[in-house]
Structure 1
Amino acid sequence: MLLVMVLDKSHEIRTYMTRIMSMTDLTLMTEVTDEQRDYLMIIKSSTKSLLKVFNEIVNEAKIQADKAIE
């Protein structure tokens, strides 16, 4: 059940994380203070890390789903 939910929502979750990264990149191209730039870089780095972990979870869910079918 949980595997199906993860796989079903994976595209939607990735879309939101990609939007966060894109908006962060756009904001970094504007005039920001050094402190704001530091915060934005933390957001960017954290979002990339979160996306990596999420992709690992999705990959594992796919493996488990394939095993359940066999």
Structure 2
Amino acid sequence: AKIVAPTSQNQGRIELDVRHVVERSRSLDDAALGDACEKAIRNHDPCISCATHFLRLDVLRRPGP
């Protein structure tokens, strides 16, 4: 049997949603931004909640207008 996990089915949408979260949440500090990204991932795959605690998020902030 071939098992296809929800994460692999939704990978493209997960990445797009995380991108949107980052774009809308630039004012958050790094820890809060990481939490928001984890929530976006869990919206698609609640079983990954333990794994997302290991999410490594490197935030590079550019001076903006």
For the pair shown, the structure with the greater C-alpha radius of gyration is: 1
Greater relative CO (CA pairs within 8 A, separation 6+): 1
Range of TM-score over shorter length = 0.3 to 0.5
